[in-house]
Amino acid sequence: MKLFTRTNLYYIIFSFFAFIAGGLIFYHYLNRIFDDRIIEDLRTEKLLILREMNHLDSMPDFQSVYGHLLQIVVFRNPRKYEEKLHDTVMFDMQLNDFRLYRHLRVESTSENGKGFIVNLFKPLESKKKLSQSILISMAILFLFLLGFLIFLNNVVIRRVWVPFYRTLRILNQYDLNAQKRLNLPRTKISEFRLLNETLDKMSEKILEDYQNLKEFSENVAHELQTPLAVIKSKLDLLIQDEQLEKSQLDLIHSVYEATSRMSKLNQGLLLISRIQNNQFSSLEEINIENVVNKSLEHFQEMTDLKGIKVAKKFNSRLVLLMNHTLAEILVNNLISNAIFHNIPEGRIEIRTDIGELTISNTGQELNIEPGMLFERFRKSESSPESVGLGLSIVQKICTLYKWTIRYNYSQGYHSITIAF
């Protein structure tokens, strides 16, 4: 969830509860005001009626004067003063329905000694309708203010967070191989300025460590190749010595194979390091069909030696934008793996489809989990002489170009498919 969305969500949630709480308080306060106003009107009308009753002999039409239901009952005998206020429900003949009234009942005696009872009825429907109208108006106003606050919040946040997104854009485009500092722009916002300063210092340290590690790995790989080449050449001379016994030749041959594996291992690890460091940055359009044909020519002797038959089926022309060296390494490792783990008189099938390259080979079923197949130094127990880096290099190349690689075993065929 984006920061804008989360911020707006918090605004909406907190504003909603604040509106509910404020609305309940306001509604209660508004009812109190209306109730006090109705009671005040009833008591004012009561005082006026009592005053009129003291000076008039005849009964005027008070209902037409005050415009609401009013009843006066006159007695010959005096009445003790008493006043009662309560709510009641009465049937309204005009509306043909029951209505809620505020009822003020007053008993008193006029100056001429006559007792009377005054019943004043004030309808409460107007209060209810007015309260509802005010609440609806408040709700509309709340929604308008909330929408305006969200809009204003988005505008402010987008302007305030411009330096942050500028920093993110520079970080996304940063390349260690360029060997340059980040040089993030300065900003007036303290938090973002501190963030940029910290990232600048971190990039300097990372660049220094990366350069040291890169030089170390390259130097180690380069320096190891020379003594390994010397050892292999000396072993070649020893193998050619006719005076050596068979047991000595076997020992020398074992040392020679171990040295060869060490040389391959050194080259493989150096290649993985260079791929991870994105040192193959040059790009060109590569026709995979041409690379496959060239690789098969390179491995022709090996396939003939094992009696392996190769079948090609190019259903779609695959042209990829990638480094030419990595394209050759990718295809060579896949074909080499298909040959190395094949059976005598086996088969290799190479197929291209729309956006996919599949290389299948006959062979025994895996004795390891398929998910471990692309791990570094992971190899089958039936192939102990393998260094276990071929498919790991393939996966690193796929990761570099954001391709997907998958393995499948069906009907005696191991299949590796790369989706571009």
pLDDT digits (tens, 9 = 90+) for 279-296: 777 888 999 999 999 999
Report the C-alpha gap between 11 and 5 in whole angstroms: 10
Report the C-alpha gap between 30 and 27 in whole angstroms: 5
Per-residue confidence (pLDDT) for residue 180, from 0 to 100: 75
Report the C-alpha gap between 104 and 43 in whole angstroms: 8
Q: Write down the pTM of the prediction.
A: 0.49
Nearest to 266 by CA among 227, 237, 324, 323: 227
* Average pLDDT for 220-231: 71
Dihedral sign for Cα atoms in the order 110, 113, 115, 116: negative
Residue 406 has pLDDT above 70, yes or no: yes
* 314-333 per-residue burial string, b: 16 or more CB within 10 A, e: under 16: eeeebebebbeebbebbbbb
Residue 384 has pLDDT above 50, yes or no: no
SS (H, E, C) the chain: CCHHHHHHHHHHHHHHHHHHHHHHHHHHHHHHHHHHHHHHHHHHHHHHHHHHHHHCCCCCCHHHHHCCCEEEEEECCCCCCEEEEEEEEEEECCCCEEEEEEEEEEEEECCCCCEEEEEEEEECHHHHHHHHHHHHHHHHHHHHHHHHHHHHHHHHHHHHCHHHHHHHHHHHHCCHHHCCCCCCCCCCCHHHHHHHHHHHHHHHHHHHHHHHHHHHHHHHHHHHHHHHHHHHHHHHHHHCCCCCCHHHHHHHHHHHHHHHHHHHHHHHHHHHHHHHCCCCCCCEEEEHHHHHHHHHHHCHHHHHHHCCEEEEEECCCCEEEECHHHHHHHHHHHHHHHHHCCCCCCEEEEEEECCEEEEEEECCCCCCCHHHCCCCCCCCCCCCCCCCCHHHHHHHHHHHCCCEEEEEEECCEEEEEEEC
* Average pLDDT for 135-163: 80
pLDDT band of residue 186 (cuts 50, 70, 90) is confident
Burial class (CB in 10 A: 0-12, 13-18, 19+), 129: exposed
pLDDT band of residue 350 (cuts 50, 70, 90) is very high
Residue 337 has pLDDT above 80, yes or no: yes
Euclidean distance between the first and final Cα of the chain, in Å?
Answer: 30
Nearest to 68 by CA among 111, 127, 142: 127
Nearest to 271 by CA among 376, 401, 384, 418: 376
The one-letter amino acid code at 160 reads V
Per-residue confidence (pLDDT) for residue 404, from 0 to 100: 92
pLDDT tens figures, 57-104: 555 555 555 556 677 777 778 888 888 888 887 776 666 777 778 888
* Average pLDDT for 254-278: 71
pLDDT band of residue 370 (cuts 50, 70, 90) is low
More confident residue, 56 or 181: 181
Per-residue confidence (pLDDT) for residue 382, from 0 to 100: 47
pLDDT band of residue 118 (cuts 50, 70, 90) is confident
Q: What residues are paired with 72 via a beta bridge?
A: 118
pLDDT tens figures, 193-207: 888 888 888 888 887
Write down all domains in the chain, each with its CATH number in brackets.
3-156 (no CATH), 190-276 (1.10.287), 284-419 (3.30.565.10)
* Average pLDDT for 257-265: 71
81-85, 90-94, 178-182, 312-316: least confidently modelled range: 90-94
Q: Chain-wide mean pLDDT for the chain?
A: 79
* Average pLDDT for 217-243: 73
Within 13 Å of residue 6, how many CA atoms lie on the same side as its CB?
A: 3
Per-residue confidence (pLDDT) for residue 221, from 0 to 100: 64
Per-residue confidence (pLDDT) for residue 90, from 0 to 100: 75
Unique residue bearing structure tokens 């509604």: 27
Per-residue confidence (pLDDT) for residue 36, from 0 to 100: 80
Dihedral sign for Cα atoms in the order 300, 304, 308, 311: positive
pLDDT band of residue 361 (cuts 50, 70, 90) is very high
Please answer whether residues 114 and 57 qualify as being in contact, where contact means their C-beta atoms are separated by less than 8 angstroms: no
Per-residue confidence (pLDDT) for residue 244, from 0 to 100: 72
pLDDT tens figures, 297-309: 989 988 998 999 9
